[in-house]
Structure 1
Amino acid sequence: YFGYKVSANADKRYKLVRKIKVSTASEHDTLHFEDVLDPANTNRDILADKGYVDGEREARLSKQGWRMHIQRKGSKGKPISEAQQRRNHRIAKTRARIEHVFAGLAQMGGKTLRAIGLARARLHLNWKVAAYNLQRLVYLKEAGVEAF
């Protein structure tokens, strides 16, 4: 594997990045799942991909007060119920807002960088996220949003 991977925690209301973890591309995403959780966040809801489903992790996080919202999928011969479809739709609407954050970062060049080494990649990607957040704060201020 070549390259780097960015795991991020984004705010759904203001579309700001709260916390990131940069790692090598060879590491699996789920290793950094709990590293990007922000205990200062008053919203205890977690929306994640289906790949993050882990009963042990879900039990541990629920004891800490977090609520997992992961879309469910049916299996062959056992489709999901209408209630589960509505639940998946609610989760998908919120996740779509969060994907705007990653689209904004992609417009700034995404994970493309001219650096060798994890330390330099971390620095470069942290700067990129800081620039994205500043750009977002300018937009919020011009729109008259009292974010803080």
Structure 2
Amino acid sequence: MTKTTILNFRHLLEKHQLTEKLIVEVNTHLADQGITLRSGTLVDATIIGAPCSTKNEAKARDPEMSSTKKGNDWYFGMKAHVGVDADSGIVHSLQTTTAKVHDSQVWDDLLHGKETSVWADKGYVSTAREAAFSGAGKFWGVMRKAAIGGKLHPIEEDINRIIAKVRALVEHPFRVIKRQFGYINTRYRGLAKNRAQFFTLFALGNLFLVRRKLMA
């Protein structure tokens, strides 16, 4: 198989958004094997760095990537936002943006709509979303955030510790992509090409995460 054939095949996948359909097919297969979505969704995002090199014809960095600050460090690249099943740990929803887009802006895209619980870090705090999600049998598992200059009540600190333990599962898909698959930096220029690859990687990542159940 020539490089041109591989390139044309990749362009075909991108043009028709077939990798987005791939993750749906994978999850449908998992559901057929008894690995179905439950009632809880974990929401999170990870930064994927983009090369800062200007070794291209335009002598410029990728204009579709951007910078964001996390802690005391700055990162240049894009983000992968995921909705993860709280029971199995598989990714059921995926969205991609440039790095500067705040995590909470794609919240609605990451829920399947039948959740009885949602779990996320303090970056997703929203009074409006919390009020909309309230109701019998529902739990708002977004970590509590103290007011500026204030402190959390001990009960809220205990709640945060519980939420943190549940949320730990959301890191597993990111670990697979970055450690097992070695995907730390983007491979292509532009959001569309990298987005297509993300969907493929997370689809394969889902299979990797439940491989023992599939082989049992």
Q: Same fold (TM over 0.5)?
A: yes
Q: TM-score under structure 2 normalisation?
A: 0.57
Q: Is 1:113 equivalent to 2:190 in the alignment?
A: no
How many Å apart are 1:99 and its aligned residue? 1.7
The whole-number CA distance in structure 2 between the counterparts of 1:131 and 1:90 is 30
Q: Is 1:70 equivalent to 2:127 in the alignment?
A: no
The whole-number CA distance in structure 1 between the counterparts of 2:141 and 2:203 is 27
**Residue equivalent to 2:11:** none
Cα pair distance change 1:55/1:109, threshold 3 Å:
same
Q: Is 1:51 equivalent to 2:123 in the alignment?
A: yes
Question: What CA deviation, in whole Å up to 9, does each residue of 1:46-102 have, x standing for no partner?
Answer: 111111112122223337x86421222446885433322221111111011222222
Matching residue's letter, 2:95: K
The two structures, once aligned, show a CA RMSD in angstroms of 2.4
* Structure of larger gyration radius: 2
The whole-number CA distance in structure 2 between the counterparts of 1:113 and 1:76 is 36
Identity, % of aligned pairs? 31
Q: Paired residue for 2:210, among 134, 137, 141?
A: 137
**Residue equivalent to 2:200:** 127
**Structure 1, gaps ≥5 residues long:** none
The whole-number CA distance in structure 2 between the counterparts of 1:137 and 1:55 is 35
**Structure 2, gaps ≥5 residues long:** 1-65, 67-75
Structure showing the higher strand proportion among its residues:
2
